[in-house]
Amino acid sequence: MDIGHLRDGLLQLILLIISIGLHEFGHAWMADMRGDPLPRRQGRVTLNPFAHADPMGTIAIPALMIFLSPGFGLIGWGKPVQISLPNPKTRRMDDILITLAGPAMNVVLCFILAVIGGLGHFDQVKDAVIVKFLLQGIFLNAGLVVFNLIPVPPLDGSRVALRLGLYTEEMFLTLSRWGFIILLVLINLPPFQWALHEGLRWLALPWLALWDLLA
């Protein structure tokens, strides 16, 4: 492994740790705002990405995929934020807002990276590493948003589908038992891969346009 590959791999791993950490912080912060004491009690209302990192899902498995290049896409996950939803009157809306706050934080990070890229006036050759880092960050976070909104447990989209009444409790529990297998099958189907790619592209385009506008 040459120095360039090692550097790029480390940057990609750092991006993933930051992005997953911010995603989980979004869940914890919104839960705190909605009066749920559990995330704060467990030390999850923090921007420290390592408070949200799963040793295997955030660091070990992504590192193996990045540095050993096994031939399939990068996957990773953080430590799930536990919530108690203590207010019965607002439980449904609380759960929807808490769930959507995770992907929303990844959208916010796309915006921040695009602003830094546009206002930084980076030279494409001289500052190639910085430009690549920022662009990778935009596409990574756009991908996290699109993937997490798939309505299959344990992804965020499934919680929203449940609370909107698209799934019954029984259907949700059944999907939860088979969710990992369902996702493995889906991500290997060409039509599904195309849909994910298109979703990522359309979500990333506004931030790339903002970068160009500011530049």
Alpha-carbon distance of 141 to 138, in angstroms, equals 5
Instruction: Determine the pLDDT at residue 73.
Output: 61
Q: Are 176 and 58 in contact (CB under 8 A)?
A: no
Amino acid sitting at position 114: A
Q: Is 198 one of the annotated active-site residues of the chain?
A: no
Q: What is the pLDDT of residue 72?
A: 53
Compute the distance between CA of residue 178 and CA of residue 46 in angstroms, rounded to an integer: 32
pLDDT tens across 172-207, in order?
Answer: 999 999 998 999 899 889 999 999 999 999 999 999
Can you tell me which residue has the tokens 């990992």?
Answer: 180
Q: What is the pLDDT of residue 112?
A: 97
Concatenated DSSP letters of 99-144: HHHHHHHHHHHHHHHHHHHHHHT--TTTTHHHHHHHHHHHHHHHHH
Q: Catalytic one among 24, 169, 170, 198?
A: 24
pLDDT digits over 5-15, tens only? 888 889 999 99
Confidence of residue 135 (pLDDT cuts 50, 70, 90): very high
Say what the pTM is: 0.93
Q: Give the model's pLDDT for residue 215.
A: 86
SS3 state at 87: coil
Residue of 12 and 2 predicted with greater confidence: 12
